[in-house]
Amino acid sequence: MPRPNLYIGVTGTNTDVGKTYVGSRLLRSLKQKGLSVSARKPAQSYDKGDRQLLDSQVLAAETEEDHLTVCSQSNTFEIALAPFMAKKELYGTELMLKEISDVIFNSQADVGLLEGAGGVLSPFCRDADFIDLMELQKVDIVLCVADATLGSLNAILTNYFGFKYQTEKRNCVNLKKAEFIVFLNRFDEDLRLHQLNYDWLKNNFEQAVYNDIDELSEYVADLANKNKSY
């Protein structure tokens, strides 16, 4: 199966931290740097009364792919529940890992983005969470999107150490080599709390932390270009 030169799994500390927003902005910035980009949302659910664009449509607008390529119609559910719950509620059948793992990527873009639902440990299918899917897909970077507000430090640390513990426990050979990066979404440099949280993470957290899309994009583009040269 063709695979992106650099593969990013996008997760978050919660369901409303802006994974799709951050992912789409990152894809746009990378594309402006001359890199080819692709995105996949293996499964998604939404409130049919909500007039906002689907996550797959937002991502497809940046990659110039058909949104049904980003996420298939069969894995798009018109009810605001976790995808595996949504399929069970609507159709009485279970969403299984095999249904989403076989249709992830079919193009060798410079950068591929795989967006999950919820956090790294959020159940994605009846038989898998996002860690299982990222391990199967051999992602190179785990990008964790978080707020910079009160409580964000605990949320970030809980996600990170939960990720580390589970990858060791499950012996995830591929994810043990992946880089874990935190992006603080909705960061406001004029808010003292945001700056203090950012400074604490930069000084105490053992992984890279960004609060600016352009800076993150520069780093990702550099890695992608290095991978192209191999």
The residues carrying an active-site annotation are 41
Cα separation of the two ends of the chain:
18
The span from the CA of 126 to the CA of 46, in Å, is: 19
- For residue 185 the two structure tokens come to 């979404």
Question: Facing residues of 132 across strands?
Answer: none
What does 16-35 look like in DSSP terms, one character per residue?
TS-HHHHHHHHHHHHHHTT-
- For residue 21 the two structure tokens come to 């927003």
The span from the CA of 94 to the CA of 116, in Å, is: 18
- Environment class of 169 (CB within 10 Å of its CB; exposed 0-12, middle 13-18, buried 19+): exposed
CB 144 within 8 A of CB 159: yes
The span from the CA of 172 to the CA of 164, in Å, is: 10
Question: At a CB cut-off of 8 Å and minimum separation 6, what does 196 contact?
Answer: none
- DSSP structure class, residue 53: P
C-alpha torsion angle, residues 148, 156, 173, 115 (rounded to 10): -50
